[in-house]
Amino acid sequence: MQLLKLIQLYFYVCEVYDNQIEYHVQRHTKNNSAPQFTDKEVITCYLFAVTYEKRLRIKDIHQCIDAHYRDWFPDLPTYETFNRRLNRLNPAFPALLAGLVVKWQQRALKSQEMKFLLTDSMPIITCAGNRDGKVARSITNKGYNSTKKMHFYGIKLHALSICEQGTLPALEYLILSSASEHDLNAQREILKNTSDQYVFADKAFKDSDLEKEYKKNGGELLIPVKYKKGQPKEDKQRHKSADDLYSKAVSSIRQPIESFFGWIIEKTDIQRASKVRSMKGLLVQWSVAKLSPSQPMIPDVWP
């Protein structure tokens, strides 16, 4: 059964590589333009081991393929070469993801009359906040996560997704930002492009101008009640029951995207990026975490 999945995955990667990916990872030197162990095989080995063999570390992935699937990949290089080739292919994974997301969205939109969007973010941690981050400094810095109540070095992954009843949401947008950037600032331009929709967000997205723009265009930005600084206690108590009911309703609708992030963390351990040593390695880690074909909500997308 595993071999059938491997063959199926390889043919799918070949098809997408020839139509889309090769333009993102094209080689410009004649001597290295046609390696014996092809880029298609590198991508297939990585995706297969992460998804079906549950191997998350690059060394474990290489050892798994070497020990159990060497007959299928006779030109498998050393671990060091495999790791270097994989990092070089980091632009391929967003391109592969983009095609899957489009198919995923099409299925989600067919299943509903009204489009509800959910938005949230999660940290990808390269090191604890009490240390000096040295990995991928061009895209990482120090930030604070209010949910975990911790300072950290790293990046943030933002997701805007389509709500689907009874299952995890379908991705609409994925955005990377530095850890210090506010969630609203990171997503503001995208939210403006979806201002005719109903978007459920957390308190960090409270912005009166953005809310007015949504209402003007026929949509609405729905956020749990956030009291203003210095608001009288009597005023809070007067509306507390209604505010609590509204906040609970919004939070319950947003729960699927929180479950989505939790599912990704469980399956890929994406937040643990402390062993990443380069920007390319970091980009590979976050990209492939979204490509796991074991996702129960998109069985008709992956081959």
How far is residue 73's CA from residue 75's CA, in Å, rounded to a whole number? 6
Beta pairing class for 141-145 and 150-162: antiparallel
Token couple for 126: 């390269």
How far is residue 246's CA from residue 155's CA, in Å, rounded to a whole number? 31
The more confident residue out of 9 and 110 is 9
Q: What is the pLDDT of residue 280?
A: 65
Domain boundaries, the chain: 2-88, 111-289
Q: What is the value of pTM for the model shown?
A: 0.72
Q: What is the pLDDT of residues 226-276, one digit of tens each?
A: 877 777 777 778 888 888 899 999 999 999 998 888 888 777 777 666 666
Q: What is the pLDDT of residues 185-229, one digit of tens each?
A: 988 888 888 888 899 999 889 888 888 889 888 889 999 988 777
Tell me the β-bridge partners of 171: 161
How far is residue 166's CA from residue 256's CA, in Å, rounded to a whole number? 9
Would you mind telling me the total number of residues written for the chain in this entry? 303
Token couple for 32: 């290295």
Please, is 36 exposed, middle or buried when counting C-beta atoms within 10 Å of its C-beta (0-12, 13-18, 19+)? exposed
DSSP assignments along 238-280, one per residue: HTHHHHHHHHHHHHHHHHHHHHHHHHHHHHH-TTB-TT--SHH
Q: Does the structure show a pLDDT above 60 at 138?
A: yes
Under a CB-based contact definition with an 8 Å cutoff, are residues 300 and 160 in contact?
A: no
Most confident of 52-56, 238-242, 253-257, 284-288: 253-257
Residue type present at position 250: V
Radius of gyration of the chain (CA): 22
Query: Rounded to the nearest 5°, which phi and psi values hold at 57?
Result: -90, 140
How far is residue 92's CA from residue 86's CA, in Å, rounded to a whole number? 10
Residues 6+ apart with CB under 8 A from 88: 25, 280
The more confident residue out of 279 and 179 is 179
3-class SS at 94? Answer: helix
Query: Rounded to the nearest 5°, which phi and psi values hold at 111?
Result: -90, 5
